[in-house]
Amino acid sequence: MRARNINNKCFGYTYFMKTGLLAFCIFSVFMLWLPASEGGTKDEKKTPPAEHIPILLYHRFGPAVADSMTVTTKVFESHLKYLKDNGYRVISLRQLVDYCLGKGPTPPAGSVVIVADDGHKSVYTDMLPLIKKYNIPVTLFIYPSAISNASYAMTWNQLREIKKSGLVDFQSHSYWHPNFKQDQKKMAPDKYEKSVEMQLKQSKAKLEKELGIHVDMLAWPFGIYDDRLISKAIAAGYVAAFTIERRHAGVSGNIMSLPRYLMTDSDRGKTFENILKGNFSSHKNKY
């Protein structure tokens, strides 16, 4: 009895070793057959491919942080210096849009787009000297009602001077930056429809008249849009529109709601680096 039990144990051990080894070999072959994981490890950081491009959105600048939308001039220059020193290439928004529309080549890897909304006077005093220094293209989204009227805004003559730099494109941010969501709630449907059409058409017409340019891109005020607004924008002659969402823009996205990163003064150092690499968990838009 004792000897038979030992033999049985030995048979079980031998059987286990043989079948276990076979299972291991099958598993190894299966793992080699599988394609490499695209996600990488949790902490791995990869530069996004050429077709995934961050659009960095600024509003105003100054020596100190006046509000949540202010990026100090020092921090803004640190952004430009980082891009230059680390092999990034700032391309024009037009290049990105042409690519998304199938009218232009794939942007080079490491491409970045820089834009600024509203038309704040600090764009003229603080931003312009730096984009000239670093020789980078920028698109300004303007709402014309403020220009030469509001104390915080640039004048038409300043915009014309900026245009002479050859680095800046001007596009629409509606006529007076309404909150479409609130307007829809408080206005009668027909009045709201007419208001939307006015905001989209009058902004485009005013910018084209004052600056002698072609306007066909729109930044949604407050990043608010819906299917009806998109239809109105297309009917008004816009071929691309931009919102505020925490992700890179790409050809696979809706051309009428391309995302942009809302930049603040806290987006510096490692945070800025992570935004460029698409490490979304490290950055949240703060509108």
Q: What is the pLDDT of residues 182-232, one digit of tens each?
A: 999 999 999 999 999 999 999 999 999 999 999 999 999 999 999 999 999
**How sure is the predictor about 38, in pLDDT bands with cuts at 50, 70 and 90?**
very low
Question: Residue 147: what pLDDT?
Answer: 99
Q: Which amino acid is at 98?
A: D
Candidates 89, 123, 86, 56; CA nearest to 267 is: 56
Say whether both 15 and 108 belong to one domain: no
Place of tokens 């791995």: 44
What burial letters (b/e) apply to 102-130, b meaning 16+ CB within 10 Å? Answer: eeeeebeebbbbbbbbbbbbbbbebbbeb
pLDDT value of position 280: 61
What pLDDT score does 11 carry?
A: 37
Instruction: Judge if 112 and 229 occupy the same domain.
Output: yes
> Mean pLDDT for the chain?
86
Residue 5 lies in a domain: yes
287 in any annotated domain: no
**Same domain for 31 and 167?**
no
Same domain, 167 and 244: yes
**In sequence order, what are the residues at sequence separation of 6 or more whose Cβ sits closer than 8 angstroms to the Cβ of residue 126?**
61, 62, 73, 76
Give the per-residue pLDDT at 285.
57
Note whether 245 and 131 are same-domain residues.
yes
Q: Are residues 27 and 61 in the same domain?
A: no
20 with 102, same domain: the answer is: no
Q: Is residue 80 part of a domain?
A: yes
Q: Are residues 237 and 119 in the same domain?
A: yes
Q: Are residues 170 and 231 in the same domain?
A: yes
- Confidence tier at 251 by pLDDT (50, 70, 90): confident
Instruction: Determine the pLDDT at residue 51.
Output: 61
Say how many domains are in the chain: 2
Quick one: 134 and 247 in the same domain? Answer: yes
Domain limits for position 236 = 52-282
Q: Identify whether residues 82 and 177 lie together within a single domain.
A: yes
In a domain, 40, yes or no: no
Higher pLDDT, 49 or 138: 138
Q: Which amino acid is at 279?
A: N
| Alpha carbon separation from 228 to 144, 172, 192, 249, 267 (Å, rounded) | 23, 18, 11, 22, 34
The confidence score (pLDDT) of residue 286 equals 53
Residues 6 or more apart in contact with residue 70 via CB below 8 angstroms: 59, 60, 61, 62, 64, 265
Same domain, 58 and 31: no
Q: Which residue has the higher pLDDT, 54 or 42?
A: 54
In a domain, residue 78? The reply is yes
Here the CATH number for the domain that contains residue 57 is 3.20.20.370
Q: What is the mean pLDDT of residues 103-124?
A: 97
Residue 158 has pLDDT above 60, yes or no: yes
Which uninterrupted H or E stretch holds 94? helix 93-100
Cα torsion angle, 253, 255, 256, 259, sign: positive
- R_g of the chain, CA atoms, integer Å: 27
- Please provide the DSSP assignment of 160-222 as one string: HHHHTTSSEEEEE--SS---HHHHHHHS-HHHHHHHHHHHHHHHHHHHHHHH-----EEEPGG
- Tell me which amino acid residue 231 is: S
